[in-house]
Structure 1
Amino acid sequence: MIKLVKSLVPKSLKKFIKREILQTSYVNKPTYNASLIKDEFTLDCTIAYNKYGGYCTPFSAQQESVVQEILKGNVYEPETIQYIIDNCGTGDVVQAGAYFGDFLPGIAKHISNKAQVWTFEPSSEYYRCAEITMRINNLNNVNLFQVGLGEEKADVQLQIETEDGKRLGGASRIINSKKGKFVPITIETLDSMIPEDRNISVVQLDLEGFEIPALKGAINSIKRCKPILILEILSHNDILANDWFKENILSLGYEITGKVHNNTIVKIKHN
C-alpha cells in the first residue's frame, strides 16, 4: 500500500516539495534534543547542513561555536576552507584534527579528481561523527584515521573533560595531569601514515598546541613535498621563538606569509 501511494506522487511534485523545503531552510533547523539513551556506547548527535553538505555534529559539543555555526546552516572558518581549495592545486590535503568533519565536505568536494584528503581524529566520539559526515556526503576521497599526530608512535591519555565536568569538545588535549576525564588514544607520525608516492600540497593543523610534535613527525613529508602549512595555534612570535621550527622548517625556505582566520600561513618563498 505504501509503495502504491508513493507511486501516485508525480515527479514534478516531488521536486517542488524538495525545492520548497530547501528554500525555507527546514533542513538547517534540527531538533536540539539529546537522545533518551545515555551510555558510553550510544552516539548522541544531530545532523545539520550547510552549502557544502551534511554533518554529524556531537551533542556533547553543541554549545561550541563550531557546532553552533553548522546547526545554523553556516560554514565555520569559510576563509580557511576557501584558502585550502584555492591553493591545493592537484596535490593531497592533510587536515587534522578532523573533529566531526567540519572541514571535510568543503575540501573533499573541491580538490582535484586524483587528490585525496588525509585526516586524523583520536577521540572515539568525534571519529564516529566524522565517519558519519563522510557517509552523508559520500566522500570516497577521504582517508580518516582514529589516531592523533605526533613526533613518534605512542599511547597517551587525551583529556576530554575538565575536573569540574566541563566537556572540552574540539579543545580536547594531551596534557600532563590526572585531573578531569581522560581517554586512551594512539599517536602516530604523519610520515608513517601517508605513502611516499602521494604529493601533499597543504597541511592544516588544529591540534590544540600539539602542532610542533606533529610537524616533527611529518618532517620527511614536508621536505619531500614542500606543502603550504596552515597552523592554528602558532602565531608569528611563537614561530620565531621556536628553535626547532627555525632550524627545520624556516631553513627549508619557508616564510610566514600571513593569516587566514586564526591560522598562520607558512609557505615556501618564491624569488
Structure 2
Amino acid sequence: MKLFEFFKNLVYQKFPGFIFRFLAHSNDAIADLKKYNFSMVLNLDDNAISRPILVKGEYEQHVTQVLLKYLQHCKPELYFFDIGANLGYYSLLVASQCPQAKIYSFEPDKNNFRLFTTSINYNQFQTAIAPYRLAVSDENKTIVISNLGNQANYGARFTGNTVHELRNYVHGENPYYEEIPAVRLDDFLADIPVDIVKIDIEGYEPSALKGMVNLLKKNHPIIFAEFAPSNLKVFGKIEPQEFLYFFTNLNYTINLIDKKGQVIAYEQNINQLIQDFATYQTHHVDLIFTPGRKSESNPV
C-alpha cells in the first residue's frame, strides 16, 4: 500500500468526516482551515508542513497566534512580504484576515509554487496575493536551490551560488538542483511601503535582507524571521551574532516567540539571546524584530 493511501485511511479512521478532500490520481489534498476561513492544497508526501496542517488545521501555532494579534488591527491596505512562502500558509492567512491586504510572496521551488498558486486560485485570493517564482537575494542574479533529497522536510530548500557549493550539505538519496532567478527587493519592490515581513529561507536570510535594506530603513516593517544559527553559518556565511547585529544597527529590537506563543523581549541584548539559545536544544527559534528601541511583549 502506498504511503499516502495508508495515511489517508489512518486519517479517515481517526477523523471521520474531517475537513479535507483528496484529489484524484495524486498525493494532493485540499484542507479546509475553517478556524481561519481559508483552504490549502497540500501534498501528503510532505511530513514537515502538509501533514501537520492536515491533522491540526494550522501550522506553527505559536507564530500564527502572534501574527494574528498584529493582523487584528491591520490597516485597510496592509503590505506584507512573504519571503520563502513555501506552500503559502502565511500569505493565505494574511489574505483571509485582511481582505484588502497587498501580499507579495516569493517561492522559488516549482512544486511548492504549484501548490501555492493552486491554493490562491481555490480561495479566489488573486487580488490580494501576488506570487513570484523567484528567490530573493542581495543582487539580481541566478542562484541554485536544492531540496534535501528526502521526505523528512519536503518543503525545505537550500540556497547557494553553485551546485558544487550545495552538494556538501545535501545528503538525501534523490536530491535535485535548479537554477533560479533571484531579485533584489530594493529594486524589485522599491516603492512598496511594506508593513510586515515574514522571512524563512533556511539560512539564506542575510543575503535577502541585504538586498532590501533600503526598504527596511524607509518603512521600518515588523519582521518575523526564523533564527537557525547552524543554517546561518553554512548558507548565510555569517555568524549568528552578526545576523542579529544587522537588525540592531537598524534600530530594531529583538523578541522571541516561545512554543506557547508568548513573546519574550530581549531589547537589543544579543549576548543574552545567544546564551539562552544554547540551552534550548533546538535547531531554530522564531523571532520578531520590531522597530524602535522599546520591545512590546503585547503588540495589541
TM-score (norm 1): 0.75
Percent sequence identity is: 19
Which of 159, 181, 201 is the equivalent residue of 2:176?
181
Map of 1:69 onto structure 2: 52
Deviations 1:16-61 (A, max 9, x none): xxxxxxxx873524449863xxxxxxxx522112122111113442
Q: C-alpha separation between the residues in 1 aligned to 2:217 and 2:208?
A: 14
Q: What amino acid maps onto 1:70 in structure 2? A: I
Structure-to-structure mapping, 1:204-243, within 5 angstroms: 204-234=198-228, 241-243=240-242
Q: What amino acid maps onto 2:187 in structure 1? A: S
Q: Is the 8 A contact 1:30 1:71 kept in 2?
A: no
Q: Which runs of 5+ in 2 are unaligned?
A: 1-14, 233-237, 260-284, 295-300
From the superposition, tell whether residues 167 and 83 of structure 1 become closer, same or farther in structure 2 (CA, over 3 Å).
Answer: closer
Which of 122, 127, 145 is the equivalent residue of 1:136?
122
Map of 1:49 onto structure 2: 32
- The DSSP-based 3-state class of the residue aligned with 1:249 is helix
Alpha-carbon deviation of 1:135?
0.9
Q: Extract structure 1 runs of 4+ deviating beyond 6 A.
A: none
From the superposition, tell whether residues 245 and 34 of structure 1 become closer, same or farther in structure 2 (CA, over 3 Å).
Answer: same
Deviations 1:185-205 (A, max 9, x none): 111122223241x32111111
Deviations 1:191-225 (A, max 9, x none): 223241x3211111110111111110110110010
- The DSSP-based 3-state class of the residue aligned with 2:147 is strand
Structure-to-structure mapping, 1:1-271, within 5 angstroms: 26=17, 28-31=19-22, 35=26, 45-51=28-34, 52=36, 53-61=38-46, 63-64=47-48, 66-72=49-55, 74-87=57-70, 89-90=74-75, 91-111=78-98, 113=100, 115-139=101-125, 140-162=127-149, 166=151, 168-175=153-160, 176-178=165-167, 180-196=175-191, 198-234=192-228, 241-243=240-242, 245-246=244-245, 248-259=246-257, 261=259, 262-270=285-293
Which protein shows a greater Rg?
1
Aligned residues: 231
Q: Which runs of 5+ in 1 are unaligned?
A: 1-23, 36-43
Q: What amino acid maps onto 2:217 in structure 1? A: K
Q: C-alpha separation between the residues in 2 aligned to 1:46 and 1:233?
A: 30
Alpha-carbon deviation of 1:105?
2.3
Q: C-alpha separation between the residues in 2 aligned to 1:191 and 1:25?
A: 49
Q: CA RMSD in A?
A: 2.7
Q: Comparing 140-149 with 151-160, which one deviates more in the overlay?
A: 151-160
Q: What amino acid maps onto 1:252 in structure 2? A: L
- The DSSP-based 3-state class of the residue aligned with 2:179 is strand
Alpha-carbon deviation of 1:133?
0.7
Q: C-alpha separation between the residues in 2 aligned to 1:144 and 1:98?
A: 9
Q: Is the 8 A contact 1:104 1:134 kept in 2?
A: no
TM-score (norm 2): 0.68
- The DSSP-based 3-state class of the residue aligned with 1:131 is helix
Map of 1:41 onto structure 2: none
Alpha-carbon deviation of 1:128?
1.1
Q: What amino acid maps onto 1:214 in structure 2? A: A
Q: Is the 8 A contact 2:45 2:151 kept in 1?
A: no
Deviations 1:220-256 (A, max 9, x none): 1100100111111356xx898543652x431221111
Q: Is the 8 A contact 1:191 1:217 kept in 2?
A: yes
Q: C-alpha separation between the residues in 2 aligned to 1:225 and 1:112?
A: 22
Map of 1:6 onto structure 2: none
Q: Is the 8 A contact 1:211 1:233 kept in 2?
A: no
